[in-house]
Amino acid sequence: MKTMTIQTKLKQLQTAFDQDLQTITNLEQLEIVRTKYLSKKHGLTIKLLKRLPQLSLIEKKQYGPMLNQFKRFQESKLNQLKLQLQNQTNLDFDLTLPQAPANLGRLHPTTQVIEEINQFFRYYGFSIGEGPEIETIDYNFRKLNLPEGHPATDLQDSLFIKEPNLLLRTQTSSIEARILTQYEPPMRVVAPGVCYRNETVNATNAAFFFQYQGFVVEKGITIQHLKGILTKLHQFLFGQDVKLRFRYKYYPEVSPGMGVDMQCRFCHGKGCPVCKHRGWIEVLGSGMIHFNTLKACGIDPEVYTGFAFGMGLDRLVMSKFGLTDIRKLYGGKLAYL
């Protein structure tokens, strides 16, 4: 073996050993490094020492002490590091390692229902949309066929931040107006979100509430498509035995409009305080998107048709979880828990 080869190999081992030391964080890794360099059969340092007999007498005297010194240095470093690792307390752990999740709490009932409905509509090719809660009057009213002076724009119903153009959205239809304006059909979108209205808080109403908006704009869409998807949705949520009724109802942004009622899950149609003794609970409003709404959003109503619906999630949640008072969902009082 040539002298230069011994020098080069020794420098390489020194560099590699220093680098390996930096990677050691536990006793298992330390033993791997010890085996790599000091194993009697395969250790890199030991292999180099075993080549000393091949050198000349002068070279043995020159490089023998250097190799033995390097071996003792490795043993000393590894022993010191082993003591440090053994003396570490349980507080020394890697904060970047994933920890088992704490079993604390659960999703809010409204969030659970939103995720469940999202799953249903994704299956039918719908995208999930969103929009701002502070909205302009243009998207909240004007593009939805609600002209100036319409009763729904009155201060008794709407919470204005800055009159006359800025308010808390009163309906998730504002998300529909934004998407219809910004994108081109065909489109299938649902959009859950919170809305705000000037309401007196009682067992079934609150000043803020959750709605779930959905709309489709494509060629050849009819009201039968709307009835079909709404029936499947309620069967998905409440079972095949759910009873619905569809009736004509006026909504400015759709024509014709269609209200959907679900037979009360508490009294099964006999009448109770939850359904106000009617036997049915109105769960959503819907209809074919109005000619004026499509036109205001830049869509040609002679080419495309579509339907839209908006449901009050709070009443659906109350029916699904057996809650008789909306304040149990959001009141935060012990009396309602």
**pLDDT(329) > 70:** yes
Given a contact cutoff of 8 angstroms between Cβ atoms, the answer to whether 214 and 190 are in contact is: yes
How far CA 158 is from CA of 53, 153, 174, 245, in Å, comes to: 96, 6, 14, 29
Q: State the pairing for strand pair 187-196/166-168.
A: unpaired
Give CA–CA dist 183/186, Å, rounded.
Answer: 9
pLDDT at residue number 56: 81
- Coil vs helix vs strand at 178: helix
Mean pLDDT of the chain: 86
For the chain, the structural domain boundaries read 3-86, 109-331
CA 206 to chain centre: 26
φ and ψ of 121, to 5 deg: -75, -30
**pLDDT(295) > 90:** yes
- 67 CB burial (10 A radius; 0-12, 13-18, 19+): buried
Q: At what angle do helices 57-86 and 27-38 cross, to 10 degrees?
A: 170
Between 332 and 29, where is the model more confident? 29
Give the pair of three-digit tokens for residue 278: 């009617």
pLDDT at residue number 337: 46
Give CA–CA dist 176/218, Å, rounded.
Answer: 14
Give the pair of three-digit tokens for residue 333: 């009082």
**pLDDT(251) > 60:** yes
Question: How sure is the predictor about 332, in pLDDT bands with cuts at 50, 70 and 90?
Answer: low
**pLDDT(316) > 50:** yes
Give CA–CA dist 31/14, Å, rounded.
Answer: 18
Handedness of CA 60, 66, 72, 75 (dihedral sign): negative
**Which amino acid belongs to residue 204?**
T
Q: What is the pLDDT of residues 51-94, one digit of tens each?
A: 888 888 888 888 888 888 888 888 998 888 888 887 764 555 56
Give CA–CA dist 20/275, Å, rounded.
Answer: 73
Per-residue pLDDT, averaged over 150-176, amounts to 83
Read off the pTM. 0.64
Helix (H) or strand (E) holding 336: none
pLDDT at residue number 334: 55
**pLDDT(125) > 90:** yes
Q: State the pairing for strand pair 187-196/127-128.
A: parallel
Given a contact cutoff of 8 angstroms between Cβ atoms, the answer to whether 219 and 240 are in contact is: no
Question: How sure is the predictor about 152, in pLDDT bands with cuts at 50, 70 and 90?
Answer: low
pLDDT at residue number 282: 87
Architecture of domain 109-331: 2-Layer Sandwich (3.30)
pLDDT at residue number 84: 83
pLDDT at residue number 1: 43
**pLDDT(260) > 50:** yes
**pLDDT(289) > 90:** yes
pLDDT at residue number 91: 52
Give CA–CA dist 66/59, Å, rounded.
Answer: 11
- In terms of phi and psi (left: phi > 0; alpha: psi -120 to 50; beta: otherwise), the region of 108 is beta
pLDDT at residue number 175: 96
Q: What is the pLDDT of residues 89-109, one digit of tens each?
A: 455 556 677 777 777 677 888
DSSP class per residue in 71-107? HHHHHHHHHHHHHHHHT--TT---TTS--PPP-----
Given a contact cutoff of 8 angstroms between Cβ atoms, the answer to whether 282 and 260 are in contact is: yes
**pLDDT(336) > 50:** no
Q: At what angle do helices 109-123 and 223-238 cross, to 10 degrees?
A: 130
Helix (H) or strand (E) holding 266: none
- 289 CB burial (10 A radius; 0-12, 13-18, 19+): buried
Per-residue pLDDT, averaged over 5-28, amounts to 86
pLDDT at residue number 42: 82
pLDDT at residue number 154: 65
**pLDDT(278) > 80:** yes
Q: What is the pLDDT of residues 33-54, one digit of tens each?
A: 889 889 888 888 888 888 888 8
Per-residue pLDDT, averaged over 258-266, amounts to 90
End-to-end CA distance of the chain: 85
Give the pair of three-digit tokens for residue 221: 């869409």
